[in-house]
Amino acid sequence: MQRIRISNGHVITPAGIIPNGTVLVEGTTIAAIGDKNLSAADAREIDANGKYIAPGFIDIHVHGGGGYDFMDGDASGFLKIAETHARFGTTGMMPTTFGEQLSAKQLEILVNFLASQK
């Protein structure tokens, strides 16, 4: 299992901000958060250089991104939207349409795409 240690950053938590904190990630799970320099043998080291360390953002209202729109009904466009949002810290999103009703084909493409991403 891959281990990542992110240190020297301001860690955003539900309880507040931990200045000069450390986050230890094991696989896909945040294993520890601390206000001290947590040791982690064989972990990949990332120095946050005093920047903020935050969990991924889940956007519950997304029309598109990167020049693509969910209304286009194109799976390759959906991937480009996800790639664009991921560059800015979004780890999950809910596709949103723009007040139009989806055609049966558009809905089928969207449902199949979302099911394949689990």
**Does residue 99 surpass a pLDDT of 80?**
no
Query: In angstroms, rounded to a whole number, what is the distance separating the alpha carbons of residues 97 and 60?
Result: 12
pLDDT at 44: 95
User: Which amino acid is residue 84, in one-letter code?
Assistant: T
11 band by pLDDT with thresholds 50, 70 and 90: very high
Of the candidates 79, 17, 20, 24, the one whose C-alpha atom is nearest the C-alpha of residue 46 is 24
Mean pLDDT within 30-50: 90
User: Crossing angle of helices 104-116/75-86, nearest 10°?
Assistant: 50
Q: Which pLDDT tens digit goes with each residue over 49-88? A: 999 999 888 999 999 999 999 888 888 999 999 999 999 8
Residues of the chain with pLDDT > 90, as a percent, come to 58
pLDDT at 113: 81
Integer angstrom CA distances of residue 87 from 5, 57, 90, 101, 112: 20, 11, 7, 29, 24
pLDDT at 26: 93
Say if residues 6 and 12 touch (Cβ distance below 8 Å): no
Among 9-13, 29-33, 54-58, 97-101, which stretch is predicted with the lowest mean pLDDT? 97-101
pLDDT at 98: 64
Say if residues 106 and 73 touch (Cβ distance below 8 Å): yes
Query: In angstroms, rounded to a whole number, what is the distance separating the alpha carbons of residues 76 and 81?
Result: 9
pTM of the model: 0.62
- DSSP labels for 44-96? EEEE-TT-EE-PPEEEEEE-EETTEEGGG--HHHHHHHHHHHHTTTEEEEEE-
